[in-house]
Amino acid sequence: MPVSDYIVTIGLEVHCQIKTNTKMFCGCQTSFADEPNTHTCPTCLGLPGALPVLNEFAIERTILSGMLLACSTPPTVVWDRKNYFYPDMPKDYQITQMDLPLCLGGGVPLYDHNYPKDAQKSIKNPGKVVQLNRIHLEEDVAKSTHLANSTLIDFNRAGTPLMEIVTEPDIESAEETFAYLKSLQQILIAGGISDADMDKGQMRCDVNISVRKNESDPLGTKIELKNMNSTSAVRRAIHYEVARQCQALDSGETLVQATWRWDEELGETQEMRTKEDAHDYRYFPDPDLLPITTADYIEKVRPLVPELPHEKSARFQKELGLTEYDASVITSDVQLVSYFETTIQSAETSGKKVANWIINNLLGLLNEKSVEIKESPVTPEKLAEILNLIEAGTVSNTQAKDLFTALWDAPEKDPAALAKKMGFEPADTGAIDSLIDEVIAANPDKVAEIQGGNEKLLNFLTGQVMKASKGKANPKIVTDGLKAKLL
């Protein structure tokens, strides 16, 4: 059977580091890329007699994450020990949550613009919300670096607060998985929960994949792909693994539940070990940590719930006249949203025009220069001044683009003064009026069509006037002048 004849079912376990200053059960600093093994203590090293102390900020941020994703929080939650033996967990157990986690249920909306570019025109389930099973809070493990004949362990990461966000088996394809990870990442960043940078290991995921032939069949044997840290790699790995499982079933092979890894260089999945079940970890309540009641935490974080990207996008479309595409681009990055909202506070023009300028001019230059939006030399206030010069008729759109580029290289300059220095002064009104009369006289056929109802030809005449003025005329003023004389 071809792959397309099989039903693919995917579930994800996303591990996301919470943005905190200290670790989950001790006061050690959280860090990235610091000297190995410099942020450790008896607690995060699992030394005998060391006792854990809860990081309440991490608890609050996990509950806030649940609110962002429409989860519920039980009135009482419990801490458990998950027992396993591996060098990256020196206690030989991990403090986590099993039966009573901080968040239950909920879902992650899949934003259309977060699907892979080549899949955005053929989204199978637009508007889908992937159902969650739970979000629990635990401590991260150390970082292992495997060499040819040895393994190096860095315990700086051990004990970092880590949320595990677990879906139901509710994802149908590699493309939905890609969109899920991007959308979840966007929501967590917007909520200030995490930077969710997969390159820095702040967000990783395990992918559980099974295939079956018929909807009425039970779910197929689950194969887990462990510790994926790139959305594009996840997509490639799923396509490969689904094809491998389908081919195995077609040849009569029996699949065995196991943990596999993705080899990026070879472009294939490889078996690591047979998969453990929950009972293999011998979960039991942690005797060093009491259960906690959540009512006070819930009330404390409820006012912190922000406007989510899809809510902000809908508001921008309704109140500011942005298109769905423009709104999705603007809300795709929390820094970009901030830049846009700051610009419109000072700009004497429509939100639509501000969005157009940011998308068509600012983002293009940022990409060209490999600069982050927060590092843009042209501030939102300076961009607003440029837009105001356009509205006032001081500069044309073409001139404004040149002004913007010049301001990029000299951001300390005043836009109006710089425009004047560049010779971008509005043309004499009387001169422009004469040019309009000349263009009208030179194009009687176009004038007749316009007066006959074809107003689109006004753009042609406006272009002719702009050409005659050598770009100094303001297109809006020219068009208004033509309308006054012809309509």
* pLDDT one-digit tens code per residue, 211-232: 999 888 999 999 999 989 999 9
pLDDT class of 366 with cuts at 50, 70, 90: very high
- Residue 167: pLDDT over 90: yes
Cα 94 to the center of its chain, rounded Å? 29
pLDDT class of 158 with cuts at 50, 70, 90: very high
Tokens 């004497």 belong to which residue? Answer: 348
The span from the CA of 171 to the CA of 8, in Å, is: 8
Closest CA to 350 of 384, 399, 301, 374: 384
CATH of domain 429-486: 1.10.10.410
Kindly report, residue by residue over 340-351, the tens digit of the pLDDT.
Answer: 999 999 999 999
- Residue 435: pLDDT over 90: no
**Which range (14-23, 129-138, 266-275, 281-290) has the least confidence?**
266-275
- Residue 196: pLDDT over 90: yes
- Residue 428: pLDDT over 70: no
3-state helix, strand, coil in the chain (%, to 5): 45, 20, 40
Tokens 């002048």 belong to which residue? Answer: 481
The span from the CA of 348 to the CA of 362, in Å, is: 18
CB 439 within 8 A of CB 461: yes
Kindly report, residue by residue over 21-67, the tens digit of the pLDDT.
Answer: 999 999 999 988 899 999 999 999 999 999 999 999 999 999 999 99
Cα 57 to the center of its chain, rounded Å? 23
Burial class of 49 by CB neighbour count within 10 A (0 to 12, 13 to 18, 19+)? exposed
3-state secondary structure of 11: strand
What is the reported pLDDT for 277?
64
What is the reported pLDDT for 11?
97
What is the reported pLDDT for 281?
84
What is the reported pLDDT for 16?
97
Average pLDDT over residues 438-467: 88
Kindly report, residue by residue over 114-146, the tens digit of the pLDDT.
Answer: 999 999 999 999 999 999 999 999 999 999 888
pLDDT exceeding 70 applies to what percent of the chain?
A: 98
Pairing of strands 203-212, 7-17: antiparallel
Kindly report, residue by residue over 378-410, the tens digit of the pLDDT.
Answer: 999 999 999 999 888 888 888 899 999 999 999
pLDDT class of 3 with cuts at 50, 70, 90: confident
- Residue 427: pLDDT over 90: no
Domain spans in the chain, listed from the N-terminal domain onward: 3-301, 307-421, 429-486
Closest CA to 351 of 393, 378, 387: 387
What is the reported pLDDT for 243?
95
Residue 131: phi, psi to the nearest 5? Answer: -75, 135
Here the tokens at position 236 are 């490639």
pLDDT class of 276 with cuts at 50, 70, 90: low
pLDDT class of 275 with cuts at 50, 70, 90: low
pLDDT class of 290 with cuts at 50, 70, 90: very high
Residues 197, 202, 208: CA angle, nearest 5 degrees: 100
pLDDT exceeding 90 applies to what percent of the chain?
A: 75
Kindly report, residue by residue over 75-85, the tens digit of the pLDDT.
Answer: 999 999 999 88
Q: Which comes out higher in pLDDT, residue 148 or 168?
A: 168
According to DSSP, the residues that pair with 153 across neighbouring strands are 144
**Range among 312-321, 413-422, 453-462 with highest mean pLDDT value:** 312-321
The span from the CA of 227 to the CA of 229, in Å, is: 6
What is the reported pLDDT for 279?
62
Structure pTM?
Answer: 0.86
